[in-house]
Structure 1
Amino acid sequence: MPIQISAQYVKELRLKTGAGMMDCKKALQEAEGDIEKAMESLRQKGLASASKKASRRTAEGVIESYIHAGSKIGVMVEINCETDFVARRLEFQELARNVAMQIAACPNVEYVEKDNIPQAVIDKEKQIEAGKDDLANKPEAIRQQIVEGRIGKRLNELSLVNQAFIRNSDITIQDLINEKIALMGENIKIRRFARFVLGEGFERQVNNFAEEVGDMLKS
């Protein structure tokens, strides 16, 4: 017999994951009330759901914009789904807004995902890493291992979906998208984005936009 789960626990899990009420209740029952295990279960189901829907066509969606406080940085991002009905849902629009803010907070991000990074960029990064002084006296096999590790980290830094979500650092942007796929039952893709920084290309004082966005979220 399933254990009884309080409505407060269900609400708390829903706020943390964005999953539906019944999905949250079932996950908590299966995890015997352990909210961390329930969260992990929902994420795994979200990943499975995302995998099944990955090939489905996404022709609807929204273009979201975000202007940082002080109007010194702006972001536009296109996020696609399968139907206009889902595109109009508050959860989808909230996702788009969060992704736009994430882009503003991550100045190193240049691509939606690692598969979008050109091979020429990867080769250049490998060349830079392989030429660093701290590797000069290491055996070739160790050098290659270190370079590959550093390249993997660097590619993650360039990829939007690999970033830790600014509102919940326990999950990545891809985890967040997977949760929304599980919640709304449609394939969801970030198609493209653009970031505009006031005075970009001119010599100017560099502000830490990631910290500023973080401070805004705390207020």
Structure 2
Amino acid sequence: MSAITAKMVAELRELTGLGMMECKKALVETEGDVKKAEELLRIKSGNKASKMAGRTAAEGVVKAFISDDKKVGAIIEVNCETDFVGKDEGFGAFAAACAKAVVAGNPANVEELAAVVTDSGETVEDLRKAIVAKLGENMTLRRFVRYETEGQLAAYIHGAKVGVLVDFAGGDEQLGKDVAMHIAAAKPKALDASGVDPEAIETERRVAIERAKEAGKPEAMLEKIAEGTVQKYLKDVTLLSQSFVKDDKLTIEQLLKSKSATVNAFTMLVVGEGIEKKVVDYAAEVAAAAQL
């Protein structure tokens, strides 16, 4: 059994939002396996989902660019070290130039994007080096998605930190913007149930069964309870099943049908999602230094 460290307890608290002693006990029960401990706490507490998913763990911006005919577009995440630089106009302009370069150059990955020539005549990498030299921070092109469509594209950027690109057919420009804004707010995981990770569905099913057992439900009811939980989960995380944020009497599927429209695909990028950000505890550093 691995030693239960304060860092492990802190990580589990961040994931679940539960108390320190509860987290430590769960880690002891699961022999230091944070993932298993999170699942155990969800079963015991009824906690719906991880709080980690929407956490911003690195700085930077999301930018989008769509061609005039709305047929080709891209969305990109560009990272920097501090929020201060993330708000700099020059850094924002660099990220916007990168999004435009993705559309123009159609690179296969960020390595190829670095070599794309921008409107200024310089490559993306040249621009990156220049802005790094000016602002004094490292900057990285983390990820991008490019769409070409027979329909049309729409984008929505919320506070430079959350960006959405939607490929849709039918309807009008306003519908595309509304759907993109909804995605930024409701954060669906997939268009419909077919796009949801089977492992995530199985986890929901397993947690529901264990929770029902803890509550003393009869064995014969467990599968029915689990199926009901899974269906509710799918309704919550699939775009077409979600209630429209501007009119909760309509699902997105109903909204699209009323406009004779369909969504072909969408991408949402959240700045720093999945990146572990180093947290410096200055008080601890000072205390440690005092012991020397």
Q: Who is 1:62 aligned against?
A: 152
1:73 pairs with one of 137, 140, 162:
162
Distance 2:271 2:201 in 1: 28
**1:121: how far off?**
3.4
Which has the larger displacement, 172-181 or 125-134? 125-134
Q: Who is 2:248 aligned against?
A: 169
In structure 1, stretches of 5+ residues that fail to align are: 1-58, 82-90, 182-187, 205-219
> Are 2:272 and 1:199 equivalent residues in the alignment?
yes
Distance 2:198 2:238 in 1: 14
Q: Who is 2:222 aligned against?
A: 143
Q: How many residues align?
A: 129
Structure holding more helix per residue: 1
Q: Secondary structure at the match of 1:111?
A: coil
Q: Secondary structure at the match of 1:153?
A: helix
After superposition, what is the alpha-carbon deviation per residue over 1:73-107, rounded to whole angstroms, capped at 9, x for unaligned? 111111134xxxxxxxxx52111111100100013
Q: Who is 1:88 aligned against?
A: none
Q: Secondary structure at the match of 1:171?
A: strand
After superposition, what is the alpha-carbon deviation per residue over 1:17-42, rounded to whole angstroms, capped at 9, x for unaligned? xxxxxxxxxxxxxxxxxxxxxxxxxx
After superposition, what is the alpha-carbon deviation per residue over 1:166-202, rounded to whole angstroms, capped at 9, x for unaligned? 1111111001011001xxxxxx321111111122223
After superposition, what is the alpha-carbon deviation per residue over 1:43-95, rounded to whole angstroms, capped at 9, x for unaligned? xxxxxxxxxxxxxxxx7311211111x211111111134xxxxxxxxx52111
> Are 2:185 and 1:105 equivalent residues in the alignment?
yes
Structure holding more strand per residue: 2
Q: Secondary structure at the match of 1:132?
A: helix
Q: Who is 2:281 aligned against?
A: none
Identity %: 33
Which has the larger displacement, 128-137 or 139-148? 128-137
Q: Who is 2:29 aligned against?
A: none
Q: Secondary structure at the match of 1:63?
A: strand
Structure number with higher relative contact order (C-alpha < 8 Å, ≥ 6 residues apart) = 1
Q: Secondary structure at the match of 2:274?
A: coil
Q: Who is 1:87 aligned against?
A: none
Distance 2:212 2:203 in 1: 17
CA RMSD of aligned residues (A): 2.1
TM-score, normalised via structure 2 length: 0.41
**1:134: how far off?**
5.5
TM-score, normalised via structure 1 length: 0.53
Distance 1:117 1:99 in 2: 19
**CA contact under 8 A between 1:135 and 1:143: conserved in structure 2?**
no
Letter in 2 for 1:62: Q
Q: Secondary structure at the match of 1:64?
A: strand
Q: Who is 1:128 aligned against?
A: 207
Distance 1:92 1:131 in 2: 46
Q: Who is 2:172 aligned against?
A: 92
In structure 2, stretches of 5+ residues that fail to align are: 1-148, 278-292
Distance 2:195 2:223 in 1: 23
Q: Secondary structure at the match of 1:131?
A: helix
Q: Secondary structure at the match of 2:225?
A: helix
Q: Who is 1:179 aligned against?
A: 258
**1:117: how far off?**
2.5
Which 4+ stretches in 1 moved above 4 angstroms?
133-136
**1:114: how far off?**
1.7
Q: Who is 2:18 aligned against?
A: none
Q: 1:147 to 1:133 in 2, by over 3 A?
A: closer
Q: 1:99 to 1:119 in 2, by over 3 A?
A: same
**CA contact under 8 A between 2:209 and 2:222: conserved in structure 1?**
yes
Distance 1:80 1:135 in 2: 47
